[in-house]
Structure 1
Amino acid sequence: HQAHAGRMQHHWYPRQLHADRSWSWSASAQLIGEFSHLETQCCGRVDELTTEQVCSDLFPALHRLGAHIRHQLGPQGLGIAKITGLPTRPSLIATASVATGLVVGNILEPYGRLYSLYDRGGCYRSQAIPVSQTGKPIDFHTDSTRRDVVPDAISLSCVRDAVGGNTRLVSVARVYERLLTQSHDTIDRLHQSYIRAIVTPGQSTSQQDLLANQFPIFSVEHENRKLTFRYMRYWIEEGQHL
């Protein structure tokens, strides 16, 4: 297990998040003004925003935001960053979400640049649809069941407060370190590949595609010790049945 061992960067404990609030900050008036300027420029058509546009010298507060988010996430994307205090105007929230994504990295677009999370009345247990299209509860999980779509970071923008409990976050690096010291056999199994059900709308679900759609729950790139964690229990179980 020496290949897997070693402390991962940006592992954290809940008490650290409460003690050090550098991962969470409120939007400044300058940043809100820059988002409003971009909103006017693109007339609310966020698909037309470009990296060159948001990286211009007109938006220094946005650049500082991007640098701070990258620092908080760390090179492996294992950290957390949160921004509060933005106006709740939907078009501004959409502009801020896309602009921030563009200054942080490259946006993955299997569902488009923005994807609304709301209950469409379906059930992921009886239909091949993402859980995010339902109102069903779901335990800890990572996004994407497709082998070729691997996000380094996930961004969620709250358009309006939901009814229910708080979001729960877990440090995967901390879980991994604990498994290394307490359950070596489990680590070996989690590094094996498992078939995942394909639920992205419009994607082929043939037997050949399903067999090709398998990958580990944990994997580590040994050169840079980058930890990748891809887990959603239900889709893994469904993949084994199919």
Structure 2
Amino acid sequence: MSKNSQTLKFQENREQLAALSWTRQDAQSDNSWRVEVSAEVKKEFQELVASFDLTDAVLDTIEADDVELPLLAELAQRTRRQILGRYGFAHVVGLTESGFSEIETRLFYVLLSLHMGKMMTTYGRLHDVKDRGYDFRSVDVSVSKTRVEAPFHTDSTSRRIFPNVFGLLCLRPAMEGGRSLLVSGCQAYSEIADETPEHLPALFKDHYRNTVTPGDEKTSIFDNAFPVYSWGTFSQGPTLRYMRHWIETGYEKASATLTAGDAAAFDRLDAVLEKDENVLGVDLDAGEILFFNNCTVAHNRTAFVDFPEDDRKRLLARAWLQVPERD
């Protein structure tokens, strides 16, 4: 779709954009994004777990149709509606004091995900998010393998491989820091369109992205270019796909140079994404889950300091999902 067509799509659908836009004050005054796991759902799940031998292999092979969990299925659809709604994220709480073991908590997370959509296996069904001693700014690794503060971004640098939803299950929080930060990509677009529309052409044109997503190792950088904002390409509505670092290193791999206009547009987008009034911070305790709409919400996390003991270090489990946008 051409830049002009994209511009027209966004102009024609300003009401939909407004419905998907929010500020920190909006989110703090509305707790609909907080989804509680009821005692009944936990009891239903415990009865399932008691009926079979739970191993790591089960996490990789179990499917939604293998189990009868009507209450969890209803919870999954409530969570899905929230993720695809105005705020574009859901904070699932209620497992912290459940007494579930780590593998049981992981299974709950897998089944909740499977009842919303398909789990992608790009990194495996579950990818452990923990500090592995890397810094994405100097090595081509995902932010999930570092402890440094990340810039606002959406998941996946690949044109071909795109989760429209992803989740983060907290198994162990950090000793200090590691707070999740969320911002509405639609709110950011609307502010730019209203205040500095001269930056929109740079955000609608294709940009090279570094090929760091597993499965893209042999993909030519010239085949991995797409816009920051698009409509109807990666989802039925608006999509923000952005991490400036991977765009800049993509241009380096292509032996190309970002124009001054491109850099100015990214500066403006970064500034709007980072505005205090636009950013919601969420602290995750053990057993809590955040699901994000990877099309409409950009995320970030603060730097963190780990506990010295290996078995207490920060550990999250990430899942990439392909979730139907319509029932």
User: Could you tell me how far apart the structure 2 residues matched to 1:147 and 1:37 are?
Assistant: 42
Go from structure 1 to structure 2 and tell me whether the alpha carbon gap of 1:39 and 1:193 turns closer, same or farther (over 3 Å shift). farther
User: Which residue of the partner structure matches residue 287 of structure 2?
Assistant: none
Contact in 1 for aligned 2:159/2:226 (Cα 8 Å) = yes
Structure having greater relative contact order (Cα 8 Å, sep ≥ 6): 2
What amino acid sits opposite 2:225 in the alignment? Q
Q: How far did residue 118 of structure 1 move?
A: 0.5
Compared CA separation, residues 202 and 3, structure 1 to 2 (3 A): closer
Superposition pairs of residues 1-242 of structure 1, within 5 angstroms: 1-5=7-11, 6-7=14-15, 8=17, 9-40=19-50, 41=52, 43-44=54-55, 45-54=58-67, 58-74=68-84, 79-86=88-95, 87=98, 89-162=101-174, 163-164=176-177, 166-201=179-214, 203-205=216-218, 209-221=220-232, 226-242=237-253
Structure-1 separation of matches of 2:140 and 2:53:
35
Q: Within 2, Cα distance between the matches of 1:227 and 1:215?
A: 14
Letter in 1 for 2:220: D
In the alignment, the residues of structure 1 paired with residue 87 and residue 120 of structure 2 have an alpha-carbon distance, to the nearest angstrom, of 18
For residues 87-120 of structure 1, what are the alpha-carbon distances to aligned partners after superposition, in whole Å with 9 as ceiling and x for unaligned? 3621122111111111111112100100000111
CA contact (8 A) 2:35 2:79 kept: no
Contact 1:78–1:172 (Cα < 8 Å) also in 2: no
For residues 90 and 135 of structure 2, the distance between their equivalents in structure 1, rounded to whole angstroms, comes to: 31
Deviations 1:27-79 (A, max 9, x none): 2112122333444446132112112124xxx312212211211221226x861
Instruction: For residue 201 of structure 1, report the CA deviation from its aligned partner.
Output: 4.3
Secondary structure of 1:168 counterpart? strand
SS at structure 1 position matched to 2:239:
strand
SS in 2 for 1:4: helix
Change (3 A) 1:225 1:204: closer
How many positions carry a matched residue from both structures? 235
8 Å contact from structure 1 (residues 42, 49) kept in 2: no
Distance in 1 between residues matched to 2:223 and 2:216, nearest whole Å: 13
TM-score (norm 2): 0.66
Runs of 5+ unmatched residues, structure 1: none
**CA–CA separation in structure 1 for the residues paired with 2:204 and 2:87:** 18
- CA shift, 1:170, in A, is 0.2
Give the letter for the 2:10 counterpart.
H
Once residues 42 and 237 of structure 1 are traced to their aligned partners in structure 2, the CA distance between those partners, rounded to angstroms, is 48
Q: 1:164 to 1:216 in 2, by over 3 A?
A: same
CA RMSD between the two structures: 2.2
**Greater strand content:** 2
Distance 1:184 1:225 in 2: 23
Instruction: State the one-letter code of the partner of 1:81.
Output: A
| 1:14 Cα offset (Å) | 1.7
Once the two structures are aligned, what percentage of the paired residues are identical? 31
Residues 143-182 of structure 1: CA deviation (Å, up to 9, x unaligned): 1011111111121101112221531110111111222222
Instruction: Label 1:215 to 1:78 Cα distance change in 2 as closer, same or farther (>3 A).
Output: farther
Task: Give secondary structure in 1 for the equivalent of 2:8.
Answer: coil
Q: What runs of 5+ residues in structure 2 fail to find an aligned partner?
A: 1-6, 254-327
